[in-house]
């Protein structure tokens, strides 16, 4: 049986990401809130950029649309 690897997943541009700009009061990342698959997590807490658990990413790109600073991008593996 051949196991297929993921071809694309979300990544964070940490130079652009700024949770304080997205949510000045609570520091919650809108892209994290948008990801129903719990692939993005602010594991260091509010006001910290999210981590991507890329193996779980479904490539639905809801997070891209939710990020106002365009800090989420598609990463493709060939």
Nearer to ligand SF4, 2 or 9 (CB): 9
- Are 72 and 63 contacting, i.e. CB atoms less than 8 angstroms apart? yes
Nearer to ligand SF4, 1 or 49 (CB): 49
What is the spatial distance between Cα 76 and Cα 56, in angstroms, rounded to a whole number? 14
- Shortest Cβ distance from residue 42 to ligand SF4 (Å)? 8
Footprint of ligand SF4 (CB under 6 A): 10, 12, 17-19, 22, 29-31, 34-35, 37, 39-40, 49-50, 57-63, 67, 69, 71-72
């Amino acid at each position: 049986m051949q196991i297929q690897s993921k071809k694309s997943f979300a990544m964070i541009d940490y130079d652009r990401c700024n949770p304080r700009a997205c949510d000045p009061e609570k520091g919650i990342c809108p892209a994290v809130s948008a990801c129903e698959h719990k692939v993005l997590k602010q594991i260091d807490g509010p006001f910290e950029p999210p981590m991507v658990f890329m193996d779980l990413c479904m490539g639905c790109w809801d997070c891209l649309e939710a990020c106002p600073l365009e800090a989420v991008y598609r990463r493709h593996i060939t």
